[in-house]
Every structure is written in structure tokens, then in C-alpha cells.
Amino acid sequence: MADETLHRPRKRFGQNFLHDMRIIQRIVSSIAPQENEPVLEIGPGLGALTQVLLPYNPQLTAVELDRDLAAMLRQKFSGNPHFSLVEGDALQFDLHSLHVAPHSLRVVGNLPYNISTPLLFHLLSQRECIRDMHFMLQKEVVQRLAAEPGNKDYGRLSIMAQYNCRVTPLFDVPPGCFFPPPKVMSAIVRLQPCEPTLVAHNPQTLSQLVNVAFQQRRKTLRNTLKTIATEEQIVAANINPDTRAETLSVDDFVRLANQLGNNPDNGKSADQGDSSACPA
């Protein structure tokens, strides 16, 4: 168990330190790290997961925003040639700065709940670097990531995650495994970047479409999309304008985004290739 007396958890950083060694070992087993492969750990905190990962001898880079924790981590792991520390904000971190081979980086972390969604979008924007991601998240976020059409949890996060990745919920983690214990259940999820079944000509158009569609999720597409899509375009994508966004599959949204991109009068999109696509 990590020594919680070394550091007072800070609310503004969303700090809940994982200390249950059985859960930590289970996470590392799920990751199955290999010698010399690049690993990025986001928010290592007191280093509980770090110290279990390092004996596998990956090339581990940790990103920590809290200056006090960064100093503690340097003192604890600086003698290990496989460990390096970046003191900074993961929301601003450029994965390309690690100079890794395409689709090789393994990203892990106990993500602060207050930044988990924007951080996921930030990482997905650089998915060409990533082989897989294993995250501790609020269980509600994992349910949203994995939700299927028609489910109340299905929304923008579900679609954009599933367009970019295979989403695999692994196991739940109860509050008592943390210090201080959060008020919610947590869960581990695996995200593996993969080639979508249907490619968006312009991912920016897809993202904009999905965002607008779920701003008023209880209304029909005819109403929610009236500022960016005509009824004719919706029908041309083989979608009923009287349906709601929550009933559409990922491929439905991609077809409609491509239909918008095919309209020469639509200035909001351009027909460009998906440069971030990863191999199957």
C-alpha cells in the first residue's frame, strides 16, 4: 500500500490514489507490458502502479501535473534507467514528443474524473501514435464509452470512441481501493485504436455532426440537425429524419457526415482523407 502520509490528496487535481495491490496487479496483468516497449503513464500519483510496471522494463514515461508529486516521483524512481518524468499537463502533452513508432505507444493511468472526457478526446486526436490504452475511469464514463445505440448512456463519447477504437470494459474497482475513497464506482477499460468499418471523409465533420445531434437528444434529427443538414441529405444517407440521434449507429453517423461532405454548397466540411486512421 502506498504511503498516504507523504502527500495530502488535492481536490483541484481530482486526486484519489489507488492503493489496493490486488487491483494494481490485475491492471498490470491486463496490460501485459513487455521489455523496452514505450509506455506513457498519465497521473502516476504516488507511483503505486509505476512501481509494479517498472520491473517489466518498459520505457516508461510518466506525466504528472502536481509539482510535489513530481518531486517525490523523481526521488523514488530517478535511479531506474527505464523511467522518465514529464512535469506538466496531460491535456497539453504531445505524444509525438516521445518519438515512438506509429501505433506502438501504450497509455495507462488512473485518470482524474474531472478531466477524463477531454483527456480521452485529446488522446484520440493523436491515435496514430497509440497501440492501446488502459484507464481507470468513473464507471459511468466506461458505460458511456461502451454503450450501444438505444441505450441511455449512448452519446457523443460512445460514437467518437467507438469510431476510433475497440472499447472493452474489463472490471470494476470499488471506492475502498482508493485513498481517499471516491463517492462513485470506478472501472478499468481497454481502448485499442482500429480502422473503422466505414471511414469518415472528414473526421472534423463527423465530430461536429455528432456534437450537434446530441445537444437536444430527445428531439428528432429533422429538428436537431436543421442548422447543418437538410432533410434530403438525411434521407440520402438512408436515415429516417423522424428518428432520434440515440438510435443511430456509428456507421449511420459516418454515412451522414460523408453525405454532408459530398455537398459542394456545404462550407462546413471538406473531402479530406483520415490521416489519423490506424491499421486494422
Q: Give the Cα separation of 139 and 173 in Å (integer).
A: 8
Same-domain pairing of 167 and 68: yes
What is the per-residue pLDDT for 18? 92
Residue at 27 is within a domain: yes
Give φ, ψ of 102 to 5 degrees: -55, 140
CATH number of the domain encompassing residue 185: 3.40.50.150
78-113: per-residue pLDDT in tens?
A: 899 999 999 999 999 999 999 999 999 999 999 988
Instruction: Indicate the SS3 state at residue 272.
Output: coil
Mean pLDDT of all residues in 198-202: 96
Q: What is the pTM of this model?
A: 0.88
Number of domains in the chain: 2
Contact 45, 36 (CB under 8 A): no
- Euclidean distance between the first and final Cα of the chain, in Å? 39
152-181: per-residue pLDDT in tens?
A: 999 999 999 999 999 999 999 999 999 889
Q: Tell me the pairing of strands 130-138 and 165-173.
A: unpaired
107-145: per-residue pLDDT in tens?
A: 999 998 889 999 999 999 999 999 999 999 999 999 999
Q: Give the Cα separation of 154 and 147 in Å (integer).
A: 5
Residue at 280 is within a domain: no
- CA geometry: angle 35, 39, 45, nearest 5 deg: 120
Give which of 248, 246, 223 is closest to 237, Cα–Cα. Answer: 248
Same-domain pairing of 145 and 82: yes
Q: Tell me the pairing of strands 38-42 and 83-87.
A: unpaired
- Domain of residue 109: give its range: 4-193
Same-domain pairing of 27 and 111: yes
Same-domain pairing of 26 and 163: yes
